[in-house]
Amino acid sequence: MICEETWKEKRRSTGKTEEMHTRYTWISGRRVNKDNVFRRCTKMARFRWKIENNILVEKHQGYEYEHCFSYSWNAMVGYHYLMKIGSFLNVIAANSEILADKVQELGIDGFLRFVRLACSGSELKAERIKEVREGNFYLRFVA
């Protein structure tokens, strides 16, 4: 299926109205007719497109994440969750003011060792946990 759209949009930067165009293309294994084409294109295919767009960073910006890494469903699910956790930690480390200082101090490899050590629980001390729990801490992102 091919869906071509045209609309007019006012640009904020120039204030001029421009005619915009976009084209979507989908492949479906199910028959499409006049009764289901709108639902299939706007509700189902575009929703699937949004899901794919959410993992573009992992797929194309250094993580080398692709769809098939294993024939075992459990292994694929585990890999997917680990990829999401790793991506999350990377975004937090890159954009958090506190963690950015830690990354700068330790370097990327040192920071990853630090996170691994923290996640292992070997550095947990009851006094420090109580201090942090009762403290007034916040996470602020750098702009």
**H or E segment and range at residue 97:** helix 97-120
Tens digits of residue pLDDT in 43-76 = 776 666 666 666 777 777 777 777 666 788 888 8
- Check: CB of residue 22 under 8 Å from CB of residue 32: no
* Cβ proximity of 16 and 10 under 8 Å: yes
Q: What is the mean pLDDT of the chain?
A: 78
Q: Which is more confident, 1 or 47?
A: 1
pLDDT, residue 19, reads 92
pLDDT at 78 over 80: yes
103-133: string of b/e by CB count within 10 Å (b at 16+)? beeeeeeebbebbeeeeeeeeeeeeeeeeee
pLDDT tens profile 83-104: 888 888 777 777 777 777 788 8
Residue 143 has pLDDT above 60, yes or no: no
Identity of the amino acid at 39: R
User: Quick check: 83 and 77 in contact, CB under 8 A?
Assistant: no
Are 17 and 10 in contact by the 8 Å Cβ rule? The answer is yes
